[in-house]
Structure 1
Amino acid sequence: MMSERPPLSVDADTESCRKALAFNNQTLSYIARGAPLAQLLDRIARGFSASYPERALAIFLFDRHKRRMSVGAAPSLLPAFLADLVELDGLEPDTLPFWNGLSALAARHGCRLLEVLPLRSFAGELAGVLTVCTPVDAPADASHLEQAYRDTVGAAVSMAMLSIERALVPSHAQVSTEPPDEANERMALAIEGSGTGIWDRNAVTGEIYYSRGWKAILGYEDWELSSHLEDAYLRIHPDDLPYVQETIRQHFASRSDTYQVEHRIRCRDGSYKWISSRGKVVARDDQGNALRMIGTTTDITEVRQLNEKLAKSSRMLDYLTSEIPGMVFQFRVPPGGRGYFTYVSEGARETLGLSPQQLLENPTIVDTMIHPEDLPRYEAARQMATATGSHWMLEFRVIVSGQGVRWLRGQARPRRLEDGTTLWHGFISDISQSKAFELELREYALTDYLTQLPNRRCFMQRLQEEHSRIQRGVCDTAAVLMCDLDHFKRINDSLGHAVGDQVLKHFAQVLQRQLRKSDAAGRLGGEEFAVILSGANLQAAAEFAMRLQASCASQPLLHEGKKVEVTLSIGISLMQVDSGSQEQVLRASDDALYRAKEKGRNRVEFAPFADP
C-alpha cells in the first residue's frame, strides 16, 4: 500500500514543470558534489512525488553477488511492502519472473505498477530497478502518456543511473574507507590506465558529468569544472563548435548510430588540445527523444602533430586520423601462474578481430596471433616489464584471421598486489595506417625518384652488407661495376633534359632485366650507375658487362620515331676478404671507369689489382 498524502492537483501546469526542472538541476548539482547515494535517491523519489503526488516512485538496488534487492529510496511505500521484497531474492530484475513477482507483491499491498525500468551502470551491468505505482482503486487516466510525465520519468531514470554510477566507480566518487567492488575497480583502473575520459550527458536537462580522467586530459582537478552544457560549449574551439553541435543533433535525431567527432578543446591553461569523442544515446523515451548519452574522450593531440609533420594535404591527415580504434584491458598474472584477462573492452573487435568473451575464455589466443618475426621481441618486452615493474610499450604485428596483418601499439602499467599478483591496466590501438605511411616514406628515402632504382644511400648499405657477407665467409667474392652513359650531356643539350630523363629511365629498365635476384644496382647520381654481382668473379663480371653493353646498343630509346643511341663505359673491381673496405672497392671500380672513358669510351676496364 501507499502511505497517505494530502491531495494535490493532478494536472502538471507550466509552473510545476518549471519547479520540477529546477529540482532536477539541483539534484545534478548534488551528484556533482558527491552527495551520499541514499540522499540522492531519496531526493529523486521525493522530487517526482512533488510533481505527481498520486503516484509513488521507488528505487531498488540490486546486489548481483548476493542476488537480492534492497531499498534505495521508497518514501511513499509502506514498510510492510518493502519487508516482503525478500520474496524476490534470487530472481534477475530484468526477467519476466521478477516482474511478475513484483507485480503480484504490489497487488497484494494494494498497488498497481505503472513503470518498471532497469537501471544500468557504465559497464552495462544491471544495478537496480526504478518503479512507479498507484493505488489499485485510483481512477484510470491517460496522464502517463503525456510528454511532461514521460520527460519527468526519463529524467528520474537518468539521474538515478548517474547517482548509482557515481557511487559504484571509485575513480568517479569521493574517497571512501570501504574497499570498492572488484568488478567496478577493474573497469575504473583499466579505463584510467588507458588515458581515456568518460562523460555522461543528461539530454533532458543538458547537464554533463565528467570522470576524473576526462578532467585530467584538460588539466583540471576532480572538483573543478561545472556540469552545465553552456560551459562545455564555451570550451570548444569556435571553428569546431558548429560541426560538433550538428553531429550531436544528427545523433539525437537517430540519423547516426553513434556520435563521433574530432575537435579542439580549451585546456585549463588556455591552450587547445585535439580530442576524439565517441558516444551513443543509451536511453530514449517512447517518442524516440534522447534521454541519456554516454561516451569516451581521448587526447589525440600528438597524432595530429604527427600528421602535420608527415604531410600537409588534408587527404593524408584524414588517412592517418579517420579513426583511432583501441582496446582497454586488465590482465592478471598470479605468482608462478599463467596470466589471464579479467576485463576486455569492445575495442578488441577492432584491434584483434576477437570478441571480449573470446579473450576472457582463452587469453593465450593473443600469443598465437603475434607475427612470427615479432614474437621474440614481444616476449622479451613483456618479461622485462614484468620483472622490473616498468611501463610496457611496444609496436608489433598481429595476423588477424581473414583480415591479414595489422600493426598494433600496446601500452600498459603494472600494479603489484600484496599476494604477488601483477595487474596490468592498459590500452592497445591499431596503428596499421600510420605504419604503412611510415614504411612508404622510408621507401621513398631509399629510392631514386626518376629511375626507381635504389639511391646512393641505399646502394651503399647494400654494398656494406655484401662486404660483411664476404668477411663472414658466406661467399668468396663479389664484382662491383661502375657504369656511365657516354656523352650524356650532348643528349641534354641537343634534345632537352626531358629526353635525357627518359634515357636514364630506359637504361635503368635495361639494367634491371640483366640482374639476378642476388644482384643489386643503384643510381649514384647523374648518369652514373653501380652494380653488385654477388658471388661473381672477374670473368662473370666481364660477361655481364658485355651483355649490358650489347643490350643498350640493341634496345635504344625511341623518341619521335628516331633512335636515341647511347653507349656505355664500365669499370670493374673485385671485392674479396683482403680487398679492403667497401669504399675502397667502389673507388677502384670508379678509377677503372675513368680509364675506360679516357681510352675512348664504350669499353670495359678493370681495376689494376683485378686483371681478368
Structure 2
Amino acid sequence: MSDNSVLSVKILAVEDDTGDYGLIRVYLRMAGYIQNIVPDPVTWVTTLAQAEQQVVLDRPDIILLDLSLPDSFGISTVKRMRMLLPTVPIIVLSGNNDNDIALAALEEGAQDYVIKGQYEHNALGKAISHALIRAKLEAKLIESEFRWKFAIEGSGDGLWDWDVAQNIVFYSERWKQMLGYAENEVGNGLDEWEMRIHPDDKAGTLASVQAYLTGKSSSYLSEHRVLSKDGDYKWILDRGMVVARDAEGHPIRLIGTHTDITERKRMEDQVRQLAFYDPLTQLPNRRLLNDRLSRAMSAGKRSGGYGALMFLDLDNFKPINDTHDHILTIEAANRLRACVREIDTVARFCGDEFVVMLSELDTNEQASTIEATRVAEKILACLSTPYQLTVKHEGQPDTEVEYHCTTSIGLVLFLGHEICQDDIIICANAAMYQARHAGRNTIRFYQAE
C-alpha cells in the first residue's frame, strides 16, 4: 500500500489489556500506520459494547479484535462484530495459538488470525495490508454477482430452455455470444452444451443435473468451465428450475441461465493467493504450511508412515538479497522446488528461512531417516552451487554476478500426532540452530539439549 493510503486507514482496536494495546501501537507505528498526525488514526475501546457504539459514530476501515473481552468471549465476538459491519475487514488478535479457534474465526468472516506478541517481521502491518486488499477484492466479487433472473433483456445472462421429453434445447443469442458463437453456429441439442463442458467438470455437472431431475436435490446450480469458440474455457454459473411437469410429476421443461463468472473466479484466485502463498516466491506461506503439516500428521497416523520437517536458514544471504531486489530468495525457492517431490511442500517461513516438509515416508524409522537425510543432502548441495544472478540497473546494461551461499538445515522426523504440530516446527528450528553453531553448511537432526 502507498504511504498516503496507509496514513488514511482508520483502525479500531478492541483490546481490554493496556499492555497489549501499547504493543499494538508500537507495531502499527513500525508499519507506518501511526505517525505524528492529528487526529490519531487508531481508536481504542476496551469492550464490545463500546466498539458497537463507536462504529455507529465513525465507521473504521479495519478492526483489530481481541477475543477475550469483559463483555464478550470467543468466536461470538467475531460474529457480533461481523453482523454489525459485514464488509469491514477484521483481524483477530489472540493469545490462544489454537488452530481450531483460528479456523473458526476465519470461517465467521475474520480476514486473519494473529497471535499476540508474534508480530516479528512486520507481521501485523502485513496482516492489515493484506486484509484491506482482500476486502477490496471481495467487494468486487459481490458487485460482480448478477441477480437471479430469467429475463433475457438487460440481465447480460444467456438463457436456455430445455424440452426434456424431446431433448431439444433453445439457446438464446446471448448464450451463444457469451462463448463467441454466431446465431447459426450452435444447434438445438443438449449435446451442444455437454460436449463443451471441461472434461474435469463434466461428471460432477451432469450428476448435479440428474440429481435435480430425480428429486434428490431441491435446486440446480453448477459452476463449471465451458469451451469457447476461441479455444479458451470460460467459467459459467449455470442455474435452472423446472417450470413444467407431466401428470406423474416428472419434469418435462426446464429454464435456466448461464452467467459468465470468469472474472469472479480470477479474483477468487487472487484472494486465495494472498491468503495462502508468499507473494515474492509463490511458495506456500505459514498458514498453508500449517494446514499441510496437519494433514500429513493425520495421514501418518492412518498409514504408519513417517514424515520429516526441515528448517532451512540461508547463510550469507542478506547482503546481496537486500541490495538486489530479493533475486537470491527467488532463485533459492526455485532450486528448493526442484529438489522435492510433488507431494512434498516447500514453504517460505520468513526472510531467509524456508521449511521443507516430506510426506509419506517409510513406516520404518531408520529407512525414513535415510531418505530424509538423502533429500537434505541433495538440498545442501543444490543450494551451495554458485548462483549466477542477473542484476538489472536502471538505464544501464544488466550485469552477471556469481554469488556463493550455503545453508544450515535442521531436521526432525514425526509420526502421526506423537508430538504436537507446533513442537515439530520448534524442534526443526532448534536443530537448524545446532547446524549453524556447528559451522553452517551442514545438517543436524534434532537432539534435545
Are the equivalent residues in 1 in contact too, given 2:321–2:328 (CA < 8 A)? no
Do residues 446 (structure 1) and 276 (structure 2) align?
yes
Kept in 2, the 8 Å contact 1:571–1:606? The answer is: yes
Secondary structure class of the residue paired with 1:347: helix
The 5 A counterparts of 1:566-605 are 566-577=405-416, 579-605=418-444
1:373 matches 2:200: yes
Structure 1 residue 384: Cα displacement: 4.4
Aligned equivalents of 2:434, 2:244: Cα separation in 1: 72
Matched, 1:409 2:237: yes
Alignment-derived partner of residue 373 in structure 2? 542
Structure 1 position 352, deviation (Å): 4.9
Aligned to 2:291: 461
Q: Can you give the 5+ residue segments of structure 1 that lack an aligned partner in the other structure?
A: 1-306
Say whether the 8 Å CA contact 1:467–1:581 is kept in structure 2.
no
Aligned residue for 1:329?
160
Sort the Cα spacing of 1:549 and 1:364 in 2 relative to 1 into closer, same or farther, 3 A: closer
Compared CA separation, residues 352 and 422, structure 1 to 2 (3 A): farther
Q: Identify the residue that residue 478 of structure 1 maps to in structure 2.
A: 307
Deviation at 1:357, TM superposition (A): 7.1
Q: Does 1:525 align with 2:353?
A: no
Q: Which secondary structure does the structure 2 equivalent of 1:369 belong to?
A: coil
How many residues align? The count is 288
- Give the whole-Å Cα distance in 2 for the aligned partners of 1:510 and 1:388: 50
User: What's the counterpart of residue 607 of structure 1?
Assistant: 446
CA contact under 8 A between 1:575 and 1:582: conserved in structure 2? no
How far the C-alpha of 1:446 sits from its partner, in A, is: 2.8
Say yes or no: does 1:363 pair with 2:190. Answer: yes
Deviations 1:544-599 (A, max 9, x none): 32333333333146678775543321111123346445444333322322332344
Q: Which amino acid aligns with 2:352?
A: E
Give the letter for the 1:466 counterpart. A
Q: CA 1:312–1:388 in 2, change beyond 3 Å: closer, same or farther?
A: closer
Specify the code of the residue in structure 2 equivalent to 1:330. D
RMSD: 4.0
Residue 377 of structure 1 aligns to a residue whose secondary structure is: helix
Where do 1:181-220 residues align within 5 Å? Answer: none
Matching residue's letter, 1:547: K
Answer whether contact 1:503 1:557 (CA < 8 A) is retained: no
Out of 328, 348, 354, the position equivalent to 2:175 is: 348
Higher RCO by CA contacts (8 Å cutoff, separation 6 or greater): 2
| Distance 1:308-1:458 versus aligned 2 partners, 3 A rule | closer
Residues 314-336 of structure 1, C-alpha deviations (whole Å, 9 max, x = no match): xxx99x9xx986321222335xx
Q: Is the CA contact (8 Å cut-off) linking 2:388 and 2:400 kept in structure 1?
A: no
Distance of 2:292 and 2:174 partners within structure 1: 42
Q: Would you say 1:427 and 2:257 are equivalent positions?
A: yes
Q: State the match for 1:514 in structure 2.
A: 339
What letter is aligned with 2:257? F
Q: Which residue matches 2:386?
A: 555
User: Which residue identity does 1:369 align to in structure 2?
Assistant: R
Q: How does 1:384-403 map to 2 (within 5 A)?
A: 384-386=211-213, 387=215, 390-400=218-228, 403=231
CA distance in 2 between counterparts of 1:308 and 1:592 reads 39
CA contact (8 A) 1:391 1:414 kept: no
Aligned-partner Cα distance in 2 for 1:438–1:578: 33
Percent of aligned pairs with the same amino acid: 25
3-state SS of paired residue (1:448): coil
